Amino acid sequence: MKKMIAGLLGPLLLAGCASLGGGERLPWDDRVLRGELDNGLEYRVVEDRSEAGRLDVRLTVRAGSVDEADDQVGVAHLLEHLAFYSRGGQGVNVRQRMEALGWQQARNYNAVTSYDRTQYLLSPAKGAAELEPALQALATLVFAGDYRAEDLERERPVVVEEWRGGLGNAQRMNDQRTASQRVGSRYPEHRTIGNEAAIRAAQVEVLKAFQQRWYQPGNMVLSIVGDVDPQRVATAIEQALGQVPGQAVPSREHRELPLDGKLKIFHLQDSQSGSNQVALLFRLHEPASRAEGPDGLRERLVDRLTLSAMLAQLRRQPLQPGVRSLSLQKTQIGNHSSVLGVAAGVTGESHDAALRQLLGEVERLRRFGISEADMDAQKARVRSIAQGMLERPDTRDFQSWINELNDAAVLGRPVQRKHVIARAYLGVLDSVGLDEINQRLRTWVDSPDQVLQLSAPGLTPLRLPTVAEVQRLNAQLAVQPLARPQPWQPEVEPVVTHPEVPGPGAPGEIVSRRSFAAEQVEHWQLSNGDRLVWLRKPGAKGGVGFKAESSAGFMVEGMQPWRVQMAAQLAGQSGPAGWSPEAMRLWRSEQRVSFALEQQAQRLEIDLGHLPTPAGKSSAPVDVQALLQVYRLSQQASIDPQAFEAARTDLGERIQRSRDSVRERQDDLQRRLSHGDDGWVLPSRDELAALSRDALDADWQRLVRAPVTYYLMADVPAEQLEGWVRAELASIPRGQPLQSRSALQQPGQRQGELEMALEPRASLRLLSYQAHEWNPQDAARVAALRELARQRLKQALRGEAGGIYSLNFDAELNPDSRRIESRLSFSCDPARLDELRELARRTLAELPRHIDEKSLAPLRRELVRQEGLRHDDAETQLRRLVLSERKWQDPRYLAQQSAVADALQVEALKGLATRLADPANRVQVLLTPAPVLRTSH
């Protein structure tokens, strides 16, 4: 076993290995133990005791779908699934062994496959105490290879459903982008998931052949972070993974893009996509920028400076009519292939105008290059970042260590100290000159291997230009006069000022008080009808917690829901008359107050808190008066005209897209089945055009007249608070509470179906409820039942029936509706929908039989742990105060919350489990394929 001390790479400007001058490589961070077994397997171990007992183990196999042969499509991903059926010579497979330890899939073990790697991820339930079982599990997963043909037949339907579940607009558009960006390579035909035909046809011998070729120790990296002794871990790694002999790993040249030196034009469009863009891609090979040593470091720095300067110049250019944005992005593929993309966002159907500006900007870059001022500005940014790294402590928390080691394994780069790599970049920064940057720019944009992509939203007709037309346009631009690019200007923070802060009206009064000494809570009734509930303790991080809620939800009687929502959202961004949104944001920032507005069907909530003190500045005391003043000004907001126009345009575009949106139709059907005619209708084009800012302003003024209950968590003198409350809160004019239309699911059974899915799958949404009074103990029990139900549903529908890949089940005891509300959704083969729906119903009905001390033990341990944290968490305490006041109009929950940790008793949960999915009050929404797409197997 070869062993060496290694180190951590801080996130810096560029990925890749950095080196010192003279060919001396930068050392790995000495906080990492790095080693290599005799068989070639590399490992990296970090000791981090900040989270007692925690252990994270990740094995990266540098093999993915692009490494498949032509007759192995989908095999890399299938192998990832079948590896969990490996036995390693034992009577049960590795999945069964892990589950016998109490490990749960997705929580304690998982795996993922991409184009160029497969990763096995373990986070043992008992942490570092289960290091040896974790390493033994990894050894079985990647080396045993003794899964059987019957295992493949059992898992094959699950993988088919994973493929089916991944279908959709996002995947279709991504496939089109990949097919065009990587045209000519193996990537388009080797999607990570494969395809249905390949998954159904794959044989176990083909999986084993792929594993034998690529799952070699020398093609693996093991990364471990935990509360562990690194030397002990190294010994355990040798014992578990060092006995398998290594073999040579094949060449990977197939991961590179083949260049043909031609322009290729592609149409990217989908009926459910809103993409509207023209993009020109330049494809090239850049092995020098991936090299190790001082030359590679310098090449990557030139790349970074050039790319940043190009983007800055593009953003300064005036946009032509029909063009909404210009952007730039560079992607690395394989070991030395790169793609530089320049894109223009399109407004409407102005693709010809966007293409002309796009080609014109590329020609401008080619002709005039980057200015010295631009280069100096980018160098200054790099220097500032590096110097900032040197000024900060070179530390990492647990999750950062996981991310850094993972990136190092995935990207094939070392992990280095931030200070060391920052000094290395500073050492070569001044040697990069303007000529070198402009030469790099022209190398990129002169690449003859190009791809032109055009997209339009939905089914908007789109004419593609021919190669000859694009070439003629390029030739014209090459000889036409072009204005020099807009010059670089020093970045100056825009001067934003706000008018004088309007004072409050005549002070109000506190007309009554009530004290709850045990809970440290006071009730103050204000003369304007508002009510203050004050928890006399410090808020989060010693600050202040503040919530204001009223009956001004978006389902208010006599008002249109879409208008109410629009009014609230815009008012939350706006200030008093004469204030711009920018001025409002600036003023709130000056007060160090955060502002969040959330509107539900029957409630409007505004949450305020104190922003953290900026770095380098001394901590200022919490200013409760400023916080209350921020709230008062929100009630005086006058909707900004420009924000109104922008919001109206955005809503109009959404309405236009929704006509062809399957998701919008599905959501609308669910709403109608659940709530009936609740008045929720999007506006017509004419209604939207007729809407004025004044009308929306009037809507907001009606909303803010509703009386408010304030929840304040702060440790301040009562005398001071009284004055602030009288001036800032009691002075706000109020009226009567607003009445809302019901937003609850109606009783009874209803079902609806849409035959319009664009994919060969059926999707089920099932919503049910049963009346049940809210209390903290039952709320905790329903949360535990939710976890148990998810486990049983996945075991039945996936593990036993092999009919789904993923599902979502949620359940809560809703304190507002006083109901246990459950929601189940999954997708599957249309031919199996009835079977799986019935299996899900039966599984939920039989849930009480599976509740026992063994199943509850881990949930009870976790609840006790969480409750220990929640008692000291200010945000939780304020949230529980709110729940208590809504339920009982007093703070008794705060005094009784210790009982929550004891809520998970077997008989109590069995009783509630029978109420989890009530067939008497159920809504089912089905989305099935259009008849032409229906298939069965």
Q: How many beta carbons lie within 10 A of that of residue 263, not counting itself?
A: 17
Query: Does a structural domain hold residue 487?
Result: no
Asked if residue 407 is part of any domain, the answer here is no
Q: Does a structural domain hold residue 522?
A: yes
pLDDT at 427: 92
Output the six-digit token pair for 97. Answer: 């062994």
Q: If DSSP codes are grouped into helix, strand and coil, which group holds residue 821?
A: strand
d(CA 875, CA 871): 10
Pair 827, 681 in one domain: no
Model pLDDT for residues 572-616, shown as the tens digit of each residue: 999 999 899 999 998 998 888 999 999 999 999 999 988 765 544
3-class secondary structure, 922: strand
pLDDT tens, position by position, 879-932: 999 999 999 999 999 999 999 999 999 999 999 999 998 889 999 999 999 875
Q: Are residues 178 and 43 in the same domain?
A: yes
Domain membership of residue 802 (yes or no) is yes
Pull the structure tokens for residue 907: 């008989």
* Range(s) of the domain holding residue 297: 256-393+413-479
- Rounded-to-integer distance, Cα 413 and Cα 308, Å: 23
Closest to 750 in 3D by CA, of 595, 924, 580: 924
| Claim to verify: residue 644 and residue 552 sit in the same structural domain | yes
Taking a C-beta distance cutoff of 8 angstroms, is the pair 532, 713 a contact?
Answer: no
Return the closest-CA partner of residue 886 out of 811, 756, 779, 789.
779
Neighbouring C-beta atoms of residue 324, cutoff 10 Å: 14
Tokens (6 digits) for 428: 């070569």
Q: What is residue 295's predicted lDDT score, i.e. its pLDDT?
A: 85
pLDDT tier at 622 (50, 70, 90 boundaries)?
A: low
Q: What tokens were used for 341?
A: 């993309």
Q: Give the chain's end-to-end CA distance (angstroms, integer).
A: 52
Residues 188 and 262 in one domain: no
Counted domains in the chain: 4
Which CATH number is 831's domain given? 3.30.830.10
Does 326 share its domain with 380? yes
96-111 average pLDDT score: 93
pLDDT, tens digit, for every residue of 754-775? 999 989 999 999 999 999 999 9
pLDDT greater at residue 649 or residue 369: 369
Residue 738 within any structural domain of the chain:
no
Are 473 and 534 members of one domain?
Answer: no
Judgement on whether residues 338 and 448 belong to the same structural domain of the protein: yes
Q: 182 with 67, same domain?
A: yes
Query: 759 and 716 in one domain?
Result: no
Among candidate residues 200, 226, 251, the one where a domain is terminated? 251
The tokens describing 866, both together, are 């969480």
DSSP state of 568: H
Residues 773 and 921 in one domain: yes
In a domain, 570, yes or no: yes
For residues 321 and 431, state if they share a domain. Answer: yes
Q: Is residue 73 part of a domain?
A: yes
Average model confidence (pLDDT) for the chain? 91
pLDDT at 259: 97
Q: Domain boundary at 225, 251, 277, which? A: 251
Whether residue 289 sits in one domain with residue 424: yes
For residues 88-104, average pLDDT: 94
User: What pLDDT, in 10s, does the model give residues 679-717?
Assistant: 778 898 889 999 999 999 999 999 999 999 999 999 999
pLDDT digits (tens, 9 = 90+) for 182-193: 999 999 999 999
Tell me whether residue 507 is in a domain: no
Q: Which of 205, 222, 251 is the last residue of a domain?
A: 251
> 500 pLDDT band (50/70/90 cuts)?
confident
